[in-house]
Structure 1
Amino acid sequence: MGDIERESTGPHRFVEAVDGIRMVMLTTLSGSEPHARPMAVQETDDDGVVWLFAEHGSDKVEQIRRSPQVGLVYVDGGDYVSATGRAEVVTDVARKRELWNPFAEAWLQCEPEDDKAVLLRVEVTGAELWEAPDPVSRVLGAAKTLVLRRPPGVGDNETVVVR
């Protein structure tokens, strides 16, 4: 049970890895300090662009306007994805209507045409993926760790260059 490290290029692997994961931790810079908060993913395009709704004037929106470099962290069971990219604030009403849903309406308490609702468009530039071993392998790995006194393997790891 050895760890596997590999590298791939292009958005396909990233898009495949995050497919179906609805929540992400978005990290922005607040001055020189990182600040993370959970966000609902509205869509991930085939080219690795992630869309999120936010409230105009919120801290995260202002932080992105000052410093567009962001991080996204996804967790799904034992699988993890950490992505980096550049975010921009989008006010396109047609795009907001396309992505609008009851959750966005409940959270933002407005309609998609309202200036209060904005989109965050995150163009992912790279990602790192970890796929944890299945539960049986994890238990066996933990036992092996105790006997051999070596750190356990963390599973497969892949670096993805999206752009």
Structure 2
Amino acid sequence: MSETDNLTDQDAIHKIRSLVNDASTCMFATQLGQVPFHVCPMQAQQTDRDGRIWFFSAADSAHNQHIVTDPRVNLIFSNPSAFEFLTLYGKATITCDPKKVDELWNQLVSNWFPGGKEDPNLSLICVEPENAHYWDTKHNKFLTMAKLIGAAVSGNEPTVGVEGDLKV
């Protein structure tokens, strides 16, 4: 069983930043009005102080083209080693801001963009959260497992986690 802890404003942003930083890779879904969605794994580069999540992306990619026609996206982050999960809906924008590219640039990104920071196919996606929901443990993975086993043996209902809505 989980406790509910809905968070707003700066508390919500702090929780989003924490969960995104811990998981970093998400499943990034576009074309939310169609079934099936277009989904691909993406590496978050930063969650800024306003809760916006930044990604590098190829300008000619399918998901960039989908964002142009419909900016609604769903990001699903999973950190199973810590039992932390986040689903986030938001609006995505595409930019090529050289200052932001310079701020976020790292060696891993250079593998995807051989032309470097000036690669003509380089773009950034910025996702502005609209609503989100998280699941988190109150304890580390091993203590959580011990509590679940103890509850199974005793027949008591365990309270091992917390979940809630996040409103930025």
TM range (shorter): 0.7 to 0.9
Per the alignment, do residues 143 and 119 of structure 1 end up closer, same or farther by CA in structure 2, a change over 3 Å counting?
Answer: farther
**Alpha-carbon distance in structure 2 between the residues aligned to 1:28 and 1:153:** 35
Which runs of no fewer than 5 residues in structure 1 stay unpaired?
A: none
- The answer to whether residue 146 in structure 2 is matched with residue 136 in structure 1 is yes
The match for 1:120 is 125
- Structure in which a larger fraction of residues adopt helix: 2
Contact kept in structure 1, 2:20 and 2:44, CA below 8 Å:
no
Q: 1:31 deviation in Å?
A: 6.5
Task: Please say if residues 52 and 127 of structure 2, whose CA atoms lie closer than 8 Å, have aligned partners that are also in contact.
Answer: yes
Q: Which residue of 1 aligns with 2:20?
A: 18
What is the alpha-carbon distance in structure 1 between the residues aligned to residue 97 and residue 133 of structure 2? Answer: 31
CA gap of 1:7–1:31, structure 2 versus 1, over 3 A, is closer
Give the CA RMSD over aligned residues: 2.2
Structure 1 residues 118 and 141: CA distance shift in structure 2, 3 A = farther
Read off the aligned partner of 2:43 and give its amino acid letter.
A
Give the distance between the partners of 2:27 and 2:151, measured in 1 at CA.
29
Once residues 141 and 46 of structure 1 are traced to their aligned partners in structure 2, the CA distance between those partners, rounded to angstroms, is: 39
The residue matched to 2:88 in structure 1 has which SS?
Answer: strand
SS in 2 for 1:120: strand
SS at match of 1:4: strand
Greater mean alpha carbon deviation, residues 57-66 or residues 2-11: 2-11
Structure 2 gaps of 5+ residues are 139-143
SS in 1 for 2:68: helix
| 3-state SS of paired residue (1:109) | coil
Q: Deviations over 1:27-67 (max 9, x none)?
A: 11176131221111111101101000010111010011111
TM-score, normalising length: structure 2: 0.82
Aligned length in residues: 157
Q: Name the CA shift for 1:99/1:15 in 2 (closer, same or farther; >3 Å).
A: same
Give, as a single letter, the amino acid of the residue that structure 1 aligns with 2:161: G
Q: Is the 8 A contact 1:96 1:113 kept in 2?
A: no
Q: Which structure 1 residue ranges, 4+ long, deviate > 4 Å from structure 2?
A: 141-144
TM-score between both structures, scaled by the size of structure 1: 0.85
Percent same amino acid at aligned positions? 26
